[in-house]
Chain A
Amino acid sequence: MSHDQGQTLVHMVNQIAANLSGGRETAEAVEGVCAHLEKFWARSMKQRIVACLDEPDSGLEPLARQAVTRLAERQAAKAG
């Protein structure tokens, strides 16, 4: 079994997206997933998942990718 941390995080955010998408509009689900990551993930995990956006085969599902993209924007705004 692979224990590459990037892959683990991608798997986790896909799982979060799958659980937060049911019964919700896309915009609401994206916001829900992004807020979840902000609230519960450590700084290093956030940085790592944001870095996955640039990887061609990151494995991020579409909803997860949108949420991570939003997270990247917000983290950048917070830092800036």
Chain B
Amino acid sequence: MIGYYDPIKDSFSKDLGTPARLSENHVSLAIDGVEISVPEGTSVLRAAALADINIPKLCASDNLEAFGSCRLCAVQVEGKRGYPAACTTPVEAGMQVTTQNTKLARLRRNVMELYISDHPLDCLTCPANGDCELQDVAGAVGLREVRYGFEGENHLSAEKDNSNPYFSFDPSKCIVCSRCVRACEEVQGTFALTIDGRGFDSKVSPGQMEDFMDSECVSCGACVQACPTATLMEKSVVDQGVPEHSVITTCAYCGVGCSFKAEMKGDQLVRMVPYKGGDANHGHSCVKGRFAFGYATHQDRLTTPMIRDTIDQPWREVGWEEAIGFAAERLKATQAKYGRESIGGITSSRCTNEETYLVQKLIRAAFGNNNTDTCARVCHSPTGYGLKTTLGESAGTQTFDSVMKSDAIIVIGANPTDAHPVFASMMRKRLREGASLIVADPRHIDLLDTPHRSDAQHLPLRPGTNVALVNALAHVVVAEGLEDHDFIARRCDGTAYQTWRDFISESRHSPEAVESVTGVPAEAVRHAARTYAKAPNGAIYYGLGVTEHSQGSTMVMGIANLAMATGNIGREGVGVNPLRGQNNVQGSCDMGSFPHELPGYQHVGDASARGRFEERWGVTLDDEPGLRIPNMFDAAIEGTFKALYVQGEDIAQSDPNTQHVEAALTSLDCLIVQDIFLNETAKYAHVLLPGSSFLEKNGTFTNAERRINRVRKVMPPRAGKEDWEVTVDLARALGYPMEYRHPAEIMDEIAQLTPTFTGVSYDKLDRLGSLQWPCNAEHPEGTPTMHEFDFPIGLGRFAITEYVATEERANRRFPLLLTTGRILSQYNVGAQTRRTDNQVWHDEDILEMHPSDAEMRGIDDGDWLGITSRSGQTVLRARLSERMQPGVVYTTFHHPASGANVITTDSSDWATNCPEYKVTAVQVEKVSRPSAWQQRYDDFDREQRQFLDAAREPVAHGVSP
């Protein structure tokens, strides 16, 4: 109903009442004499809406199945008795429907009259005023009086529930249309809401008549969006009123890349409403994307550039020119003293494609070396290596929608309900429709508890044994004759396949042989392999539980082997799908952030590719790869790497073995940090350049399904510059001018130089909404499903995946294995979500452990625990949980003072140096005070904050003492 103020009339701004039907058979009918033809199964309500005949409705919405409770959409159908509800009546050939006549008008007025007799008449002061479907329908049906009066039994004094920080629940305004209940079930899949009681007593109930916060509610907001009245309402709208314009943009949290309407009043963001036309999210969102945007205007935002000579000095606020000049001089001086390769930079997976592209261009062209890397190093670099080796392209193969055609879904080392919630909702929908689920994870994840799911299998493997497990799965496929021989013969390299087949057939890979390694019963592995291989469509989804291991790359190749062996590549419903952590991890990899690859994964040693960049950029480029992040740290400690430009990444918190990282950062002569907050890394910096949030700039993000989405500026940058403008300034100060007037021009350059992007432009993105690369002459509108006919390397290549046990294993000194992950309400290092009300769900990181491990150590829930590894020690509180298997403990790393990465080690993936966050051998014991590192952290943190505060305070004392 907000749609009317959107100046661009699009097909998604209107609610058509019931969901689309996809039948190819069309049915013709006449509605009020207007002939229309629609797919079979479409409701009369939707058919009418498509003909711009708008039948009044309250309980219907086109993201929910028809319910038929409000009776407002009653119509008359020639030859039929009574007044059927248009929402629950499917179209029939030759139907003659009447939507408006005196009888129907009276009927609808009577219905509204009953509704309004039990509804407050405070419209003028109601937060939904101007955005209320009840009000609109009352107007549409011409309600003029309520003959029943308002004194009868009613719900007007029902109490409000304000427990959720982001929305209020005012049952006095509820019309019991069940849209919220159905949104929670059908859209979100949580089933937290129900209708309690019957008849007049019916009321919406979170859980069992609990507060929202005490119920199973995950605060996704689907109910708030579904509510046609002010019953469920964003508190921001209660406070500020209804927004006056909106801009479609892309969320800056996880790799799902949801499209949102940023609803504004002037330059104030009032609320984020997921956009129905968003190809990744189809109008759904999670608690982060919809509600946790307050960080963008948080008082901690850096708004002025700052510099200092050494990190034990206070900051000095300066203008942009001085800060950029200072940074450029330091970089030049460092190179003059220590050599061309002594400096480098880190691009951000949170920034736009255009910004990432510019930072790596700055490094390659203006720094004159290839010392560029990105946070994908610590998450999905093994995906790049593994998929490129086997399938020929460093990207997932499917769209998110593809899961709706999967019959068996394997989820390995991913926790979608927490880390990719909107996609998890879609997956849960498919599980309710009957797809089988196989979860390979040391923990029992929430996806296994999907309400109304069908078959679910859990393979609770020991951390670090992924490759042994995937080999066992493949062994069963081969040994039991479940291969897709036709696919293999047509699509895969025969020699590589035969070598692999001989390797995987060896009995040492059988589930029985590896049971003692993985801890998973052999029969369970066989059952899972059969389920996946025999399903018409088998799909694999994986996350950082696959990549963040010493054999991350091997595991990715093992997954690709399994998909090729079963022919599960190249159509909808199948595929190999990395679930990307950050909003633009895919994009930052695509844009040439890695030290060995130019944009589009073109190796720096490839003379013809390099030549095209040299010609366009007007410089000679180094043909040798540069340093990766961990190599930079090692070189810094050794004294050969002395300056670093970091855009939008917090390596001091996110990278493993914190004390090693701190030692590296303190070894630098010049650290330039560009960020929206004083993050942990910035505390070691010499130059602070204020960054711009996703709301303050134009650009594009690329999500986990290779989808390029537009990011649109809705408010001016707080510090005056978008991030790409800062990089341009720095390049100019280094004597390498870059001339761009708008990010669209940067994209044009990317399109010229990147074969998979040649068809991408802002014009086309605006026209089509989004594009999945490859987008070029062969695929002018993008490529939803990869590898349909061949692979970029021609034939798919099976890879040998020898299981090599990690050196990080439990022993007498460190008998437990620590694994790390995320939770729903916080995001990554928490810099954004910790500055929002999401804190109410998770304000500290907790160590989860199995009750038997706790009992052995005399540990109770809530005890302070010292967790020690060979890298360091930190202290967290305990939570006993049977989600864990005995011998395995778990924590998150959302809060810097937790020091989760003080204990993770520098053990890393053999091919890419992606850290092994998922396996650290630890000991846990009860303690009474924070660790030595935490005490040092607190002191350092306090000092650095004072340095910042001192710089920001106006000079009040006149003269210094």
Contact = CB atoms under 8 A, between A and B. Distances in A.
Interface of A: 1, 3, 5, 8, 12, 15-16, 18-19, 21-24, 36, 38-46
A22 B551 CA distance: 13
Contacts of B911: 16, 19, 36, 40
B420 interface: no
A5 B638 contact: yes
Interface residues of B, number: 40
Contacts of A46: 624
Interface of B: 341, 370-371, 499-500, 502-503, 550-551, 553-554, 595-596, 603, 605, 622, 624-628, 631, 634-635, 637-638, 640, 660, 663, 800-802, 804, 870-871, 906, 910-913
A15 B800 CA distance: 15
24 contacts: A1-B660, A3-B637, A12-B913, A15-B550, A18-B804, A18-B910, A19-B551, A19-B804, A21-B802, A22-B503, A22-B804, A23-B499, A23-B800, A39-B625, A40-B911, A42-B341, A42-B628, A42-B631, A43-B341, A43-B622, A44-B341, A44-B640, A45-B631, A46-B624
B802 A41 contact: no
Contacts of A21: 802
B580 to A, nearest CB: 21
Contact of A44 (B635, B663, B802, B804): B635
Given A22-B503, A39-B603, A39-B625, A15 B634 contact: no
A18 B805 CA distance: 10
Contact of A23 (B370, B622, B660, B802): B802
Given A15-B550, A19-B911, A1 B870 contact: yes
B627 A42 contact: yes
A15 B503 contact: no
Contacts of A22: 503, 800-802, 804
A11 to B, nearest CB: 9
Contacts, number: 76
A18 to B, nearest CB: 5
Nearest to B467: A19
A21 B502 CA distance: 15
Contacts of A42: 341, 370-371, 595, 624-628, 631
Nearest to A32: B800
A19 B660 contact: no
B637 A19 contact: no
A16 B910 contact: yes
A5 B635 contact: yes
A44 B637 CA distance: 14
Contact of B554 (A19, A38, A43, A45): A19
Contact of B596 (A8, A16, A23, A39): A39
Contacts of A1: 660, 870-871, 906
A44 B627 contact: yes
Contacts of B640: 44
Contacts of B371: 42
A68 B173 CA distance: 75
Given A38-B605, A40-B911, 17 more contacts: A3-B638, A3-B663, A5-B635, A8-B634, A15-B910, A19-B910, A22-B802, A23-B503, A24-B800, A39-B605, A42-B341, A42-B370, A42-B626, A43-B624, A44-B341, A44-B635, A44-B640
A23 B802 CA distance: 8
A24 B802 CA distance: 10
Contacts of A19: 551, 553-554, 802, 804, 910-911
Contacts of B913: 12
Most buried by B among A1, A16, A19, A24: A19
Could you say which of A8, A22, A23, A44 has the most chain B C-beta atoms within 10 Å of its C-beta? A44
Residue of A12, A24, A39, A42 most packed against chain B (CB within 10 A): A42
**Can you list the 10 inter-chain pairs with the closest CB atoms, starting with the nearest?**
A22-B802, A23-B800, A23-B503, A15-B910, A43-B624, A19-B910, A42-B627, A5-B634, A5-B638, A18-B804
